[in-house]
Amino acid sequence: MENNKTVKSITSQSDDFASWYTDVVREAKLCEYSSVKGCLNYLPNGYAIWENIKNSLDKKFKETGVENVYLPVLIPESLLQKEKDHIEGFAPEVATVTHGGGAELEEKLCIRPTSETLFCDIWQHMVKSYRDLPLIWNQWNSVLRWEKTTRPFLRSREFLWQEGHTLHATPEEAEERTKLMLDIYYDFVTNDLAIPLIKGQKTESEKFAGAEATYTIESMMKDGKALQSGTSHFFGSGFPDSFDIKYLDKENKLHSAYETSWGLSTRIIGALIMVHGDDNGLVLPPKIAPTQIMIIPIAQHKDGVLDKANSILKELKDNNFRVKIDDSDKTPGFKFAQQEVLGIPLRLEIGPRDIENNQVVITRRDNGEKITISIDNLTESINEILEKMQSEMFEKAKNLLDNNIRPATTIEEMIDIDKNHKGFIKAMWCGDEKCEEEIKNRTNGYGSRCIPFNQEHISDKCVCCGKDAKDMVIWAISY
Amino acid sequence: MENNKTVKSITSQSDDFASWYTDVVREAKLCEYSSVKGCLNYLPNGYAIWENIKNSLDKKFKETGVENVYLPVLIPESLLQKEKDHIEGFAPEVATVTHGGGAELEEKLCIRPTSETLFCDIWQHMVKSYRDLPLIWNQWNSVLRWEKTTRPFLRSREFLWQEGHTLHATPEEAEERTKLMLDIYYDFVTNDLAIPLIKGQKTESEKFAGAEATYTIESMMKDGKALQSGTSHFFGSGFPDSFDIKYLDKENKLHSAYETSWGLSTRIIGALIMVHGDDNGLVLPPKIAPTQIMIIPIAQHKDGVLDKANSILKELKDNNFRVKIDDSDKTPGFKFAQQEVLGIPLRLEIGPRDIENNQVVITRRDNGEKITISIDNLTESINEILEKMQSEMFEKAKNLLDNNIRPATTIEEMIDIDKNHKGFIKAMWCGDEKCEEEIKNRTNGYGSRCIPFNQEHISDKCVCCGKDAKDMVIWAISY
């Protein structure tokens, strides 16, 4: 079969990956552009994925002592300007409120592009003694950055995320929290989203505005490009010092405090689409899918079919599966295509002959495999299938990642890989920003994604300038 | 004992109810003003209450088919102006973005004061046929209204809420949804928050800008004032018609669509404080309390006390209670006061003598009752105590409400009640807005809160003008 596509309005990945992506977002009704340029409407199908991400992550956060808060959508201009590097990083992207209630404001207000300054502003008057520390706060909110070019989920002016902000008595404790949160992201994205990752540290030029160190998890899309999937920042005491946040220790001595922040956004839905999706649409890992099983009755007008289908629906619901039934008057073929576009992990067919044989037919969304199972141990069988599907989806993505990271020892090799392959390059680097720039310019835009924690020794020399190498860096074209 | 107060920094309710309120909000660390005038920082203790409200309501919504979405924080000025009554209602309260990314915008953007126009803007291109209906959408977000005077939770420029928006093929179906959502609010607020309510319809002058009918739930605070606790609006086809939203029925005929919207906000936390709170601080109903039980070990340095306290903590956690332990080096008296300020329903004391007797001592926050229970059936006993507390808190509040609604047949009687009592007045009304105005002016600001669904016949004549009465109205001073 040359063309596996059941939905004709989706471009093939091999024809045009970018068009494929926007087609899937549209056909699965995940989100759409609103009438405000660059801002999205998150529609029910897309928002339900975000809700599952949020619920799962929030639970993991709280197990480590995170408390949720909500701070204002507006930041006074003077407050945003308090930390020098920070405002330099964000000033060009800020939207400004100049009028409120019909009158011009005395001071302009910015719509938050991120909330470090607001957190510090609270802590300034709240933190006095070592007893007030640590503060381990997080908020689920939206932020606004005036981007010039936008793409659904990947880059939009307003996007949804969580931003965690913590304050500690010692740099060691803050560093530990920074890494703990990166580990939580890593576990969540690999286990729940079945997306394999590279964990590492950003180079100086790629780190967050105002941070001392930025840690990241990087994933590979099916087109070989990288997507930064979550970041965790160690601020040292720079930010708190700018806000004059100091605490008294047990001996009544005054000390600086140490800050972290960490965030994961709706971009991750873009990764979910581009790591697992295929020419028929979305493919969602069972653990995160809003609907895990779609029951489709066959010959549903025949005696007993709908009754049986509904009793299966009830049984599966009672056993905590996220399950729906499509008993509309559309044809089974149309329903199959719909379930595929939406990426629902399992299709469950039940018709008169199945009832006779006391069975149902399950079809896996990820590989099309058909499995006939007995009605007598539905829960157990489906649990097994879902678990197997989850781990096989991860393995498949892991193979893609592993098979598409290629070593290079010279810039010519990099240019060659760039021409002939998709994927990442691993190569040594001297630590000089100029080499990062040169590599970007001489290739088709390969940037440093991270200095991975798992280092390999590829050569002694920087891939670009030939001087002594410091670290192995992962290079890639990125979203 | 003349003064029951254990926390000296809280003003007595009887001395000054307004100061008591702000003291409780501050001492329980629920929220505080931010550096943006009129905008709040929702701190962990306050936000945790909102999270519980959100989780409980969201579950109830979804059981009736509600789907969550997220629409932009910004609305183009021209879009907000599309429905005439609506913009007249909101124009004076809007904050406006004029600059983005350093450049002046071609069209001003408003920070959403509410999102009816955004929903209609999507539906305009989405709804074509009867098959596309109904749409039952909701979002949990923040909105901004440029209020002149603000009070924590009760009135702030930015506040958190949910706004549900639905679109239907017939007015009957839309009316049914409007009332269904009011019923969900009613059940949630009475059952989970233990706040008794009056359910009814707003008069013409009090209804939502652009709505055909507004339904409301009204509660009574301990100072006798009313607080609008949730509203549900029927828009008819006015709003959809302004946006040219039409659908084709089965016979291919074009029809208007019918809209509803409904919202409940962080104001309800203000009600929670003012309905149940006392001179020692917050009193939270068990069903909504972020922490239900605070374990306080007595003589915790003695052998075995902390071990036993921690094993009780584990047992209660395993049985799904929301429970914490305070094993800090503060004195028990200080811990007791803290638990009281925070409104934690139960205090559980365990000391050496309790261990000897295989018992713990429970103290109810709402009435101070001390109950000694055996360690052997902790879960069962505590469940019983929490359930009893929940229903008794409701009864207590219900008595306050029932005992403070007084009938009046003349405006002189109303003025007299206003002078000598706190609470609501029930009186007949002719339906004329002028009478509403006059009553407000001649009393200390008694406005029409609602035309309750449960009507009583108090007299034949309007309490104000003496003309034939149409409905019994609940009148009150309101927050």
Tens of pLDDT, residue by residue over B201-216, are 999 999 988 899 999 9
Q: Kindly tell me if the per-residue pLDDT of A6 is higher than 80.
A: no
Give the residue-averaged pLDDT of A198-221.
95
Residue B5 — pLDDT band, cuts 50, 70, 90? low
Give the residue-averaged pLDDT of A171-182.
98
Looking at residue A364, its amino acid is R
Alpha-carbon gap: A96 to the closest alpha carbon of chain B (Å)? 5
Q: Which of A35, A97, A101 sits opposite B121 (nearest CB)?
A: A35
CA–CA distance, B327 with B305 (Å, rounded to integer): 10
- Residue of chain A nearest B144, judged by CA positions: A73
Q: Apex CA A434: angle with CA A433 and CA A440, to 5°?
A: 95
Judge: A72–B99 Cβ closer than 8 Å, yes or no.
no
Residue A2 — pLDDT band, cuts 50, 70, 90? very low
Contacts of B477 (CB under 8 A, 6+ apart): B224, B225, B226, B444, B445, B446, B447
> Best interface-test mutation with A: which of B36, B77, B107 has the largest number of A CBs within 10 A?
B36
Q: Does the beta carbon of A158 lie under 8 angstroms from any beta carbon of chain B?
A: yes
CA–CA distance, B440 with A11 (Å, rounded to integer): 65
- Closest to B198 in 3D by CA, of B175, B230, B222: B230
Judge: B142–A34 Cβ closer than 8 Å, yes or no.
no
Residues of B whose CB is below 8 A from A130: none
Instruction: Give me the residues paired with residue B123 across strands.
Output: none
Q: How many CB atoms lie within 10 A of CB B336?
A: 19
Cβ contact A109:A76 at 8 Å: yes
The DSSP result for A290-357, as a single string, is S--EEEEESSTTSTTHHHHHHHHHHHHHHTT--EEE--SSS-HHHHHHHHHHTT-SEEEEE-HHHHHT
Query: Between chain A and chain B, how many beta carbons pairs sit less than 8 Å apart?
Result: 152
Q: Does the beta carbon of B65 lie under 8 angstroms from any beta carbon of chain A?
A: no
Q: Apex CA A124: angle with CA A118 and CA A126, to 5°?
A: 105
Contacts of A399 (CB under 8 A, 6+ apart): none
The residue count of chain B comes to 479
- Closest to A432 in 3D by CA, of A461, A458, A453: A461
- Looking at residue A83, its pLDDT comes to 77
Residue B258 Cα to chain centre, angstroms: 27
Average pLDDT, chain A: 95
Q: Kindly tell me if the per-residue pLDDT of B2 is higher than 50.
A: no
Alpha-carbon gap: A284 to the closest alpha carbon of chain B (Å)? 19
Alpha-carbon gap: A9 to the closest alpha carbon of chain B (Å)? 18
Both structure tokens of A118: 């607001």
- Residue of chain A nearest B99, judged by CA positions: A96
Q: Kindly tell me if the per-residue pLDDT of B7 is higher than 80.
A: no
The DSSP result for B228-281, as a single string, is EEEEEEEEETHHHHHTT-EEE-TTS-EEE-EEEEEEEETHHHHHHHHHH-BTTB
Q: Does the beta carbon of A73 lie under 8 angstroms from any beta carbon of chain B?
A: yes
- Looking at residue A7, its pLDDT comes to 61
Q: Does the beta carbon of B81 lie under 8 angstroms from any beta carbon of chain A?
A: no
What is the percentage of chain B residues whose pLDDT exceeds 90? Answer: 92
Residues of A whose CB is below 8 A from B43: 69
- Closest to B411 in 3D by CA, of B432, B389, B438: B438
- Closest to A119 in 3D by CA, of A287, A296, A24, A243: A243
Q: Does the beta carbon of B43 lie under 8 angstroms from any beta carbon of chain A?
A: yes
CA–CA distance, A276 with A253 (Å, rounded to integer): 54
For chain B, helix (H) and strand (E) counts, in that order, are 14, 23
Torsion-angle region of B302 (φ positive above 0: left; ψ -120 to 50: alpha; else: beta): beta
Segment B78-120, tens digit of pLDDT: 998 887 777 787 888 999 999 998 899 999 999 999 999 999 9
Strand order in the sheet with A293-297: A323-325, A293-297, A346-350, A359-364, A370-374
Residues of B whose CB is below 8 A from A50: 70
Residue B452 Cα to chain centre, angstroms: 18
Judge: B73–A44 Cβ closer than 8 Å, yes or no.
no
- Given CA atoms B410, B415, B419, B425 in this order, what sign does their dihedral have? positive
- Closest to B35 in 3D by CA, of A77, A106, A76: A76
Q: Which of B69, B111, B142 sits opposite A97 (nearest CB)?
A: B111
Segment A424-479, tens digit of pLDDT: 999 999 999 999 999 999 999 999 999 999 999 999 999 999 999 999 999 999 99
ipTM of the complex: 0.95
Instruction: Give me the residues paired with residue B295 across strands.
Output: B325, B348
Alpha helix ranges (H) inside B277-377: 305-318, 332-341, 352-356
Give the residue-averaged pLDDT of B12-31.
97
Residues of A whose CB is below 8 A from B40: 72
- Looking at residue B1, its pLDDT comes to 35
Judge: A95–B73 Cβ closer than 8 Å, yes or no.
no
Contacts of B411 (CB under 8 A, 6+ apart): B438, B439, B442, B443, B463, B464
Both structure tokens of B172: 């009957």
Reply yes or no: is the peptide bond before residue B285 cis, omega within 30 of 0: no
CA–CA distance, B199 with B195 (Å, rounded to integer): 12
- Looking at residue A1, its pLDDT comes to 35
Q: Which of B69, B118, B157 sits opposite A44 (nearest CB)?
A: B69
Residue A469 Cα to chain centre, angstroms: 32
Q: Which of A34, A68, A100 sits opposite B72 (nearest CB)?
A: A34
What is the percentage of chain A residues whose pLDDT exceeds 90? Answer: 92
Residues of A whose CB is below 8 A from B72: 34, 36, 39-41, 158
Q: Kindly tell me if the per-residue pLDDT of B391 is higher than 90.
A: yes
Cβ contact B293:B321 at 8 Å: yes
> Best interface-test mutation with B: which of A26, A32, A34, A266 has the largest number of B CBs within 10 A?
A34
Judge: B96–A98 Cβ closer than 8 Å, yes or no.
yes
* Start-to-end Cα distance in chain A: 33
Both structure tokens of B97: 């973005």
Alpha-carbon gap: A312 to the closest alpha carbon of chain B (Å)? 19
Q: Does the beta carbon of A69 lie under 8 angstroms from any beta carbon of chain B?
A: yes
Judge: B101–A95 Cβ closer than 8 Å, yes or no.
yes
What is the percentage of chain B residues whose pLDDT exceeds 70? Answer: 98
- Looking at residue B84, its pLDDT comes to 79
Residue A5 — pLDDT band, cuts 50, 70, 90? low
The b-or-e profile of A51-74 (16+ CB within 10 A means b, else e) is: bbbbebbbebbeeeebbbbbbbbb
Residues 420-439 of B with CB under 8 A from A: none
